[in-house]
Amino acid sequence: MKKVFFATSNKNKYLEAKAILRSFNIEVEWLKGDYPEIQAESLEEIASFTAKWVAEKTKKAVFVEDAGLFIQVLNGFPGPYSSYVYKTLGNHGILKLLEGETNREAFFISVIAYCEPTSKPATFIGKVNGTIAYEIRGNKGWGFDPIFIPTEGEGKTYAEMGPKNKNKISHRRKSLEKFGAWLSKYYEKE
């Protein structure tokens, strides 16, 4: 089994990536830590910068993943600021911002950047459309899971679906699938 390092501070993201990439016969090892992130409006730019930085620093083949929740009526907020907004406003804060608002459309994006010490980063994107719930629903999730209802989720929030079902359709599943397929081919050529 080929091994690749995932640089993240977030254990939930690591566990999801590990479960999903296993089906591509790829083993994920956690490079636990807080790595520098630039402030930019594009998740691709942010993820690419961090992947390059970590690959050069550790001399390993690594990937990082940057995700964000984009709410239509808030012009895409919190988007690239999702981590900070989750820590400061939380799910209750987001629901408050949307009080009385009937347009609940939102999407989640996951961007993976893979990089080796001497190469340029390669990126893979996954997107899931959905809506923001009217209240917190479900306890089998983390982050924004209790307020995000994916279009393909039969009306349930990610947190009501639970990790197994979330992982079948999530934004992270989609970016990791692209990455896994690419990496398997890439390893064949080596």
Residues 146-165 vs ligand ITT: string with x where CB under 6 A? ------------x-------
Under the binding rule (CB under 6 A), the answer on residue 145 touching ligand ITT is yes
Residues 101-130 vs ligand ITT: string with x where CB under 6 A? ------------------------------
Segment contacting ligand ITT (CB under 6 A): 62-70, 91-99, 128-136, 182-190? Answer: 62-70
Check if 145 is active-site.
no
Judge whether 123 and 47 are in contact, CB under 8 Å.
yes
Judge whether 44 and 125 are in contact, CB under 8 Å.
yes
How many angstroms separate the most distant Cα atoms in the chain?
56
Under the binding rule (CB under 6 A), the answer on residue 30 touching ligand ITT is no
Under the binding rule (CB under 6 A), the answer on residue 52 touching ligand ITT is no
* Contact residues for 132 (Cβ-Cβ < 8 A; gap 6+): 71, 94, 95, 98, 104, 106, 147, 148, 149
The residue number with the shortest CB distance to ligand ITT is 143
Distance CA(121)–CA(54), nearest Å, equals: 11
Under the binding rule (CB under 6 A), the answer on residue 172 touching ligand ITT is yes
Closer to ligand ITT by Cβ: residue 38 or 181 = 38
Catalytic residue among 8, 52, 64, 66: 66
From the list 163, 186, 169, the residue with the least C-alpha distance to 114 is 186
Supply 178's token pair: 């692209």
Query: Which residues are known catalytic residues?
Result: 66
